[in-house]
Amino acid sequence: MAEFPGKGKVAVLKTSPETVLEDYHKLMQLVDYQAALPKDKDTLLKINISWDTWYPACSSTPWQIEGAIQQLQADGYSRLIAAHNDTVVVDARMAERNNKHLYVTEKYGLENWHLYEPQFRWVRYEPKEPLLVLDRVYPDGIYIPECFYGRNIIQFPTVKTHVFTTITGAMKNAFGGLLGRRRHWTHSVIHETVVDLLQIQQDIHTGVFAVMDGTLAGDGPGPRAMRWHEKNIILASADQVAIDATSARLQGFDPMELDFIRLAHERGLGVGDPDQIEIVGYDIRAEPDWGFVQTNTFASKGQKMIYHGWLKGFEGLLLRTPLVPWSYFASDFYHNVYWYPFVGRKRVKSALENRWGRLFKEYGDGEVVMPGANPQSVAIAAAGAGAGMLFLGGVAAAALRARRGPKSA
């Protein structure tokens, strides 16, 4: 059972574009963040990037990062480091520009680490306590960034739903930092994975904290293809389980029915039971139930067939062999070629007319990148659609034959 300053305590505030930076300062002070983060240690800012274009509620907001940096620097945290990881479907270098993250980190003189680049060494992690699944998912060893050891870390999630974990927040944010490009291997056991990652964080970091933005929140098939809602909420906590449970509660979900929150609570890594969480600041009992729902996209339905459905037997072939790039292209094609141009762009334009969208435009040069179809994706789709359909058809036929059994003589 982990014990740490701030366990079971979450700060929540209502905010506005006019006061949001000052409100982030108050938020962190309310929950006594300095007790959780030793000042004599470097502090990593694990910025959330879920898309390489801006979409409301999808990735960390510039005011979320800026408000935290201002407070940290005012309180004497001398070395702050922005940390980004790679993903097979998102260009982190492009994303940090389009989401205005780079503008903020450069404004305040932060170092900017992209952990997938060759200067950063990944080392084998040896668990001190038994893990739930990661040692079985990666039998050749769990490798994590060496530079994470002996440093504080702050997670910067947003309030939103997720196609695999119902909601995503502080615990899931570590998924994009601690694991490398093979992290999709864990999707079939994602709830247990994020619990293991929290255990690893509590082992290797000198302090763990989270600052969560719900100014614009997202429901539906998160973390990208969501419906956005203005909610004007911000949260902070040293307890990753408690802040995720509070976010889930606001969205209208029972936190203890979400496996990753319940498992983390049962293992003593934090507090997931809302009755045991102390809320300071805004009384969330005054907040109407948001009524968020978690739904799927066409792409996520296909993924779930592989992870949990009738294609489960082909998971290794489809996702752990040289064939795996088909899944990257499928995700890229769905989100960037179909969904964003035909659905997302209208929602982005609408958000830019909202007061938070107008604040977003004030960062950097004022430009908001709204890309069209990715030419590479179109070319890949045109060249590979027929082959892909034949391949999946063959898989389906093989599965059907296996179910029917051998023909009689």
Residue pLDDT, tens place only, 340-376: 999 999 999 999 999 999 999 999 999 998 876 544 4
Residue pLDDT, tens place only, 130-174: 999 999 898 999 999 999 999 999 999 999 999 889 999 999 998
CA dist 348 and 55 (Å) reads 6
Contacts of 333-338 spanning 24+ positions with Cβ under 8 A: 333/377, 333/380, 333/381, 334/297, 334/298, 334/299, 335/51, 335/89, 335/224, 335/225, 335/299, 336/371, 336/373, 336/374, 336/377, 337/373, 337/374, 337/377, 337/378, 337/381
Please report, for the chain, the start and end positions of each structural domain, with discontinuous segments joined by +: 9-296, 300-404
| Architecture in CATH for domain 9-296 | 3-Layer(aba) Sandwich (3.40)
Predicted pLDDT at 396: 45
CA dist 18 and 29 (Å) reads 19
Instruction: Give the closest residue to 14 by CA, choosing from 282, 372, 301.
Output: 282
Share of the chain above pLDDT 70, in %: 81
Over 50: is that where the pLDDT of 388 sits?
A: no
CA dist 20 and 146 (Å) reads 34
Output the six-digit token pair for 260. Answer: 């990753």
In contact, 90 and 183? CB cutoff 8 Å: no
Strand extents, DSSP E, 9-79 = 9-14, 43-47
Confidence of residue 384 (pLDDT cuts 50, 70, 90): very low
Output the six-digit token pair for 304. Answer: 């779930």
DSSP-assigned letter for residue 252: T
DSSP-assigned letter for residue 275: G
Q: Average per-residue pLDDT in the chain?
A: 87
